[in-house]
């Protein structure tokens, strides 16, 4: 349960309410304990709910049952995430989000919707295969899903943080290189792999419809060759 905001925290928000939006955003970012980008009003802590899943997928070959821990998982909105976080500055984080420039918020919401579709459809498919066969070789397909998740998470992180330095870009490149090495170990469907017959991501009929925050049909599933 999120901790109620203290009077001091409420005063922090109220004291800058009359300032111009950029100044208000910079003030909120300076006062928050959690890192907020003063140029976008967003915080990368929001991405933790996705990072937990992608890290679990990395170990799917050794511990496929860990994927079943996310049965019933559903993404939280930005506000819901920080309301449930227990952060003492959650009110400041949400207030800063309300000041995010419209063009940035629109792009942010679009990327989040895309990521939610990827995660929900991928988890649903992996879990369906594991229910039918707990020993199914889901490692390769899980690696592909993790890679796709990280690509979107990195896009979101770049948007959240705003313009980055060459040093920061180098760090991002290293993360992608690590993902590429894992993909070479577990190639997607259609590429040769001698050790076993993996699951693969293949289009099938829609499984179900996702309601808010991403309303669309899920139409990706996992198939295990017979």
Model pLDDT for residues 41-69, shown as the tens digit of each residue: 999 999 999 999 999 999 998 999 999 99
Q: How many domains does the chain have?
A: 1
pLDDT level of residue 16 (50, 70, 90 thresholds): very low
Query: Is residue 2 a part of any domain in this protein?
Result: no
Find all residues with CB under 8 Å of 183, minimum gap 6, and list them.
Answer: 143, 144, 147
* Contact (Cβ atoms closer than 8 angstroms) between residue 39 and residue 160: no
For strand 209-210 and strand 200-203, is the pairing parallel, antiparallel, or unpaired?
A: unpaired
Q: Is the pLDDT of residue 79 over 80?
A: yes
Query: What is the span of the domain harbouring residue 84?
Result: 7-223
Query: Is residue 58 a part of any domain in this protein?
Result: yes
Query: Is residue 196 a part of any domain in this protein?
Result: yes
Q: Is the pTM of this model over 0.75?
A: no
% of the chain at pLDDT higher than 90 = 49
Find all residues with CB under 8 Å of 87, minimum gap 6, and list them.
Answer: 2, 33, 34, 45, 93
Query: Is residue 1 a part of any domain in this protein?
Result: no
Query: Is residue 100 a part of any domain in this protein?
Result: yes
> How far is it, in rounded angstroms, from Cα 217 to Cα 226?
27
In this prediction, residue 12 carries a pLDDT of: 52
Query: Is residue 68 a part of any domain in this protein?
Result: yes
Query: Is residue 110 a part of any domain in this protein?
Result: yes
For strand 200-203 and strand 220-223, is the pairing parallel, antiparallel, or unpaired?
A: antiparallel
Mean pLDDT rounded to a whole number for the chain = 75
In this prediction, residue 197 carries a pLDDT of: 40
The three-class DSSP label of residue 208 is: coil
Q: Which of 7-16, 59-68, 180-189 has the highest mean pLDDT?
A: 59-68
The residues facing 200 across adjacent strands are 223
Q: Give the mean model confidence (pLDDT) for residues 1-5.
A: 53
């Amino acid at each position: 349960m999120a901790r109620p905001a203290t009077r001091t925290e409420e005063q922090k928000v109220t004291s800058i309410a009359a300032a111009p939006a950029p100044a208000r955003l910079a003030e909120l970012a300076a006062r928050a304990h959690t890192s907020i980008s003063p140029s976008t009003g967003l915080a990368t802590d929001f991405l933790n709910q996705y990072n937990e899943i992608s890290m679990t997928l990395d170990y799917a070959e050794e511990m496929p049952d860990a994927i079943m821990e996310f049965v019933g998982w559903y993404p939280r909105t930005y506000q819901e995430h920080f309301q449930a976080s227990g952060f003492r500055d959650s009110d400041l984080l949400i207030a800063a989000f309300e000041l995010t420039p419209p063009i940035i918020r629109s792009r942010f919401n679009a990327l989040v919707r895309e990521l939610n579709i990827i995660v929900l459809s991928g988890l649903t498919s992996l879990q369906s295969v594991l229910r039918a066969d707990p020993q199914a070789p889901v490692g390769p397909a899980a690696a592909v899903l993790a890679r796709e998740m990280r690509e979107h998470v990195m896009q979101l992180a770049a948007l959240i943080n705003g313009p980055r330095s060459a040093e920061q870009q180098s760090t991002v490149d290293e993360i992608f290189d690590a993902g590429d090495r894992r993909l070479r170990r577990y190639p997607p469907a259609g590429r040769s792999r001698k050790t076993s017959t993996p699951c693969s991501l293949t289009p099938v009929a829609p499984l179900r419809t996702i309601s808010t925050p991403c309303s669309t049909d899920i139409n990706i599933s996992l198939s295990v060759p017979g």
